[in-house]
Structure 1
Amino acid sequence: MTDAISSILSQIRAHQMHAGGRLGDAPAGNAISPGAINPGGIGQAEGIKGPGFSETLNNALDNVSRAQNHAGQMQQAFEMGDPRADLARVMVAMQQSSVAFKATAEVRNRLVQAYQDVMNMPI
């Protein structure tokens, strides 16, 4: 299961890098540079123009949805007797969508757990 999560996370990072932005969650060298914080607002960093966390998460969910739709279409085409939809391709598409969904559910569970941990911290 961790391989699937790593795969999804690497796809998200590749998509984010392809979009032209730096990764917003991991600064270079694992250090926060003092000049990166914008005094005009909390949490706003200068120079980072890539997609935000919510946009990246939405893109990942869209990709999972597309994989499930594609698998469903291939399954239906196989059932209808389409010669382009052979059993091996249908099974691979079904497994890809299953792994993507399980990885998404695991990421959601981890995010919920992290949120609950933060909310239960004493002030």
Structure 2
Amino acid sequence: MTTIDVSSLLSQMRRISSQADLPPANPIGEISPATKESFGNLLKQSIEGVAKTQEKAGQLAAGFERGDPGVDLAQVMIQGQKADLSFRAMTEVRNKMVDAYKEIMNMSL
């Protein structure tokens, strides 16, 4: 097993970062603008995304059933699978949130 000289490793890391000329990382406690979005808005947007995916799958299926020349079976199947996968993911997120809520409610104060 080899030993690592921490000071030489740190100096190498500093030298490489200075050569890369990268901006310093955000200090701990500083909030970037991207994290200021509320959780409720994020959840609403994801649910709307799932609904749009399902709507698009329904429209493609209806177009295929009508015999639309621009819609083929592969498109319908792929969009249907995307809608199914996004709905399953949303359901799993919901289940995890319900479990977390139940766990918080069972905590003693």
- TM-score normalised to structure 2 length: 0.69
What percentage of aligned pairs have identical amino acids?
A: 37
- Single out whichever of 85-94 and 48-57 deviates more from structure 2: 48-57
Alignment of 1:71 onto 2:57:
yes
Deviation at 1:47, TM superposition (A): 6.0
Structure showing greater radius of gyration is 2
Alignment of 1:1-123 (within 5 A): 33=29, 48=33, 50-123=36-109
Deviation at 1:58, TM superposition (A): 0.4
1:117 counterpart SS class: helix
Deviation at 1:48, TM superposition (A): 4.0
> Whole-Å Cα distance in 2 between the matches of residues 48 and 73 of structure 1?
37
Count residues in correspondence: 83
Match of 1:19 in 2: none
Q: CA RMSD in A?
A: 1.9
Deviation at 1:122, TM superposition (A): 1.1
Paired residue type of 1:87: L
Point out 4+ residue stretches in structure 1 off by more than 6 angstroms.
none
> Whole-Å Cα distance in 2 between the matches of residues 80 and 69 of structure 1?
16
Residues 28-63 of structure 1 show CA distances to partners (whole Å, capped at 9, x for unaligned) of: 68xx62xx5xxxxxxxxx764642100010000000
